[in-house]
Structure 1
Amino acid sequence: MSQTIQEDAGPAGRRAAVGARRPFYRRRKSCPFSGPNAPKIDYKDVRLLSRFLSERGKIVPSRITAVSAKKQRELAQAIKRARFLALLPYILS
């Protein structure tokens, strides 16, 4: 059973697949800092903060770590504070 895909030129001249399937549904991850037993964001907790740094030392975006926007701002502030106090490196080599 083959499905034919018809292409339709839109008003801007772009082609859109008419019979294309939607990508599979992904369940949203919950924020690791929300909930009753969630860890508190603290600039002195280097092991927790280093989980949210890439291998190059950059802060990993919230779309990958599933941290809420409010907690992502707190996390970034704590990481910057820890870097300033030399608890975390600015770049990893």
Structure 2
Amino acid sequence: MGRRRSNRCAACEGEIDLDYKQYNKLKQFTNRSGKILPRRATKLCEKHQRKAAEAIKSARYLGLLPYGDEHGSPWK
């Protein structure tokens, strides 16, 4: 029998720091086109999902993360 996995999110366990200055870690909460992933994909609790979204938006505003797709639009 394997170990049972905790139901707590990684931020609750203290494994992830949700700070806008650590944009490399925040990239894991966005998809390839730059959209913020939902809770079921990030495995974060409601409180930390909101904090992650705010940190991503702050990093975007400061130019640390792109708003959209890094490859550009195919319709150009």
- What range describes the TM-score normalised by the shorter chain of this pair? 0.7 to 0.9
CA distance in 2, matches of 1:28, 1:65: 15
Does residue 50 (structure 1) correspond to residue 31 (structure 2)? The answer is no
Task: Give the alignment partner of residue 67 of structure 1, picking from 35, 44, 58.
Answer: 44
**Is contact 1:56–1:91 with CA below 8 Å preserved after alignment?**
yes
- Give 1:85's aligned amino acid: L
Unaligned stretches of 5+ in structure 1?
A: 1-26
**Is contact 1:29–1:66 with CA below 8 Å preserved after alignment?**
no
Larger relative contact order (CA 8 Å, sep ≥ 6): 2
CA distance in 1, matches of 2:31, 2:61: 18
Structure 1 segments, 4+ long, off by >6 Å, are: none
RMSD between aligned residues = 1.6
Q: How far 1:29 sits from its partner (Å)?
A: 5.0
- The two structures have a TM-score, normalised by structure 1, of 0.65
- Give 1:83's aligned amino acid: R
Percent identity, aligned pairs only?
Answer: 41
- The secondary structure found in structure 2 opposite 1:71 is helix
Does residue 34 (structure 1) correspond to residue 23 (structure 2)? The answer is no
Q: Relative to total residues, which structure has the larger helix share, 1 or 2? A: 2
- Give 2:23's aligned amino acid: V
Q: How far 1:40 sits from its partner (Å)?
A: 1.5
